[in-house]
Amino acid sequence: MTTTSLTFSSAFGTRTAVGALLLDALISEDTVLDSYASSYPVEDGSTITDHIANEAERLSLSGQVTSADITLFGEGGWQKLVQAKEVLRQLHEARAPITISTVLDTYSDMVMERCRIGRSNEGDHFTVDCDFRRITKAELRTEAVPEDRAKNPAKGKAGASRRSGGKASTKPVAGGSQADATRYVNNVVGGTGKG
């Protein structure tokens, strides 16, 4: 699986980059680390961490892209804005985990949950507000049942069975037998139906 690279760096003279897209300013970077703690009493002597669940890490970034081009080579003007918007659309449509790097941190396995692109008539630029969430990966594990722990009828068959489950009859029950069967089920299960 290809991981799209999303790089944000902010320092004097350094522009922020989203893959091939350069952001001209990184306005804000907010990391959210939430946990859910049980509201029920915890039994004395139990492990407290068993009653606290960590939620997936979230990241919010805000930046700007302008039509100005400060590089020697490359396209500038409106074409730069059009391409920048297209890159963000492709990230949204790909629905793939991405890696985000900033001056403060590197965030891996993040997915874009929201991207808001806004433009006003106050110049040739647009703002980008993005929300990301970390995807928590689980590892699938399988275990074989040890032969010595299997009960006698299951010896030699632990983990698999080729024994037929039998056949079910699909013929309707005769009139009197149907009423008898209904009464029996109602008596055993405690149903209230009348037979």
Q: Note the pLDDT of residue 113.
A: 93
Q: Note the pLDDT of residue 17.
A: 54
What residue ranges do the domains of the chain occupy? 4-37+50-134
Query: What is the C-alpha to C-alpha distance for residues 130 and 61, in angstroms, rounded to an integer?
Result: 5
Query: What is the C-alpha to C-alpha distance for residues 15 and 163, in angstroms, rounded to an integer?
Result: 67
Q: Note the pLDDT of residue 59.
A: 92
Q: Note the pLDDT of residue 121.
A: 82
Q: Note the pLDDT of residue 157.
A: 54
| 128-to-34, 85, 98 alpha-carbon distances in Å | 24, 9, 17
Is pTM beyond 0.85? Reply is no
CA angle, residues 145, 150, 154, in degrees to nearest 5: 105
Q: Note the pLDDT of residue 4.
A: 36
Q: Note the pLDDT of residue 169.
A: 63
Q: Note the pLDDT of residue 131.
A: 93
Q: Note the pLDDT of residue 2.
A: 33
Helix spans in the chain (H)? 78-94, 175-189
Query: What is the C-alpha to C-alpha distance for residues 25 and 16, in angstroms, rounded to an integer?
Result: 6
Q: Note the pLDDT of residue 10.
A: 39
Residue 102: name the closest of 171, 11, 4, 41 by CA.
Answer: 11
Q: Note the pLDDT of residue 195.
A: 45
Q: Note the pLDDT of residue 132.
A: 92
Contact 159, 144 (CB under 8 A): yes
> Is 2.70.98 the CATH number for 4-37+50-134?
no
The one-letter code for the residue type at 170 is T
Give per-10-residue mean pLDDT for the chain (195 aa): 39 51 78 92 85 92 78 60 88 86 80 92 86 90 73 57 63 66 73 52
Q: Note the pLDDT of residue 42.
A: 85
Q: Max Cα separation, the chain?
A: 94
CB atoms within 10 A of CB 68: 12
Tokens encoding 5 = 């690279």
